[in-house]
Every structure is written in C-alpha cells, then in structure tokens.
Amino acid sequence: MKSGVEIDGVDSRLGYSRLLAKSDAKSQYLYLVQELKKLGSLAYLPLVEAKGHPAIFFANASAEDDKTLDFILEAWNNQSPVIVAGGYTPESAVSAVDDHYRKWDVLIAFGRHFLANPDLVFRVQKGLELNKYNRTTFYINMSEEGYNDYPFHQEFSEYATAA
C-alpha cells in the first residue's frame, strides 16, 4: 500500500513568504524532500502553492521566483505525482499544467471549489459557472450550512434526472 505525505507550510497564510525571506525554510523543505525520496516511491506528494497559479502571480517577477514550488518540484524530480492546490480555477489549472508545470507530473486540486460545487467535474467538463464558496461557513459545528447546502447546476440536475 502506498500513501502520500502533504508538506504543509508552503502557503502564504502560514507565513511561507516571510519564512523564505527570514530563515532557512527553503533548505528545510529541500531536506525534507530528499529524505522523503529515500523512503521510496510515495503514491503522491501534495503541496499548496503560495498564492495560486504561478503563471498569473509570478510571471516576469524574478523577485517572486522563490515563492513558487519549483524548487521542491526540481528536488522531487518526478519521483511520483505531485498534487498542487492553491486558489486555482478550472482555466488557471489547465494553464498551470500545460505551461508552468509541463515538465513535472503535476495534478491540480480543487478543495474549496469542490466543497461549493457538488457537481464540479460536470461543471468543468461543460464549462459551466462555479458556485462561489463562503469560507465563513466551512467549519460550522453540527451544521449542514457551508458543507452540503450548495446547489447543483440546473444542467446537471436535468442530466441526472434523464439518466
């Protein structure tokens, strides 16, 4: 049985940008990646992009280069697939995989969008608008609000009824 190991902290909400600027966090991440590689092939390596789609946020911004996941991906060297999350839209995910991440075995994850769109795969396939998520309702104790109260797209409902 294989498993994956998520490297948390590669996220601006957790101080990633400040860590890289003020400490040896980059070398710590690289050390962790090298040690994980010694364990053999993990099923996948999940990461969180500091700000989302690097081609949008970091294009032609050499001062921002250290805030991308590239240094981890280079060190990982396609040992197993990498799952990257971080504010992607369906359009920016396609662009990221086809352009920025094209030399790596990368899959883009949609956490918040999956929560707000129970039919996310259908919406992406059909190019339909996504529900907007409400982050303030994500972790309400003992409540369906924000967890399973997002509507299915009308087109999906018609498709599901006909099937």
Tokens (6 digits) for 131: 């529900």
Cα 8 to Cα 72: distance, rounded to the nearest angstrom? 13
Statement: residue 74 has pLDDT above 90: yes
Q: What would the pLDDT profile of 15-56 be if each residue is shown by its tens digit? A: 445 455 556 778 888 999 999 999 887 899 999 876 544 444
The answer to whether the beta carbons of residues 122 and 156 sit under 8 Å apart is yes
- Strand 106-108: give its sheet, edge to edge: 45-48, 82-85, 106-108
Q: What would the pLDDT profile of 45-65 be if each residue is shown by its tens digit? A: 999 876 544 444 444 444 445
Cα 12 to Cα 66: distance, rounded to the nearest angstrom? 12
What is the per-residue pLDDT for 61? 42
What is the per-residue pLDDT for 56? 45
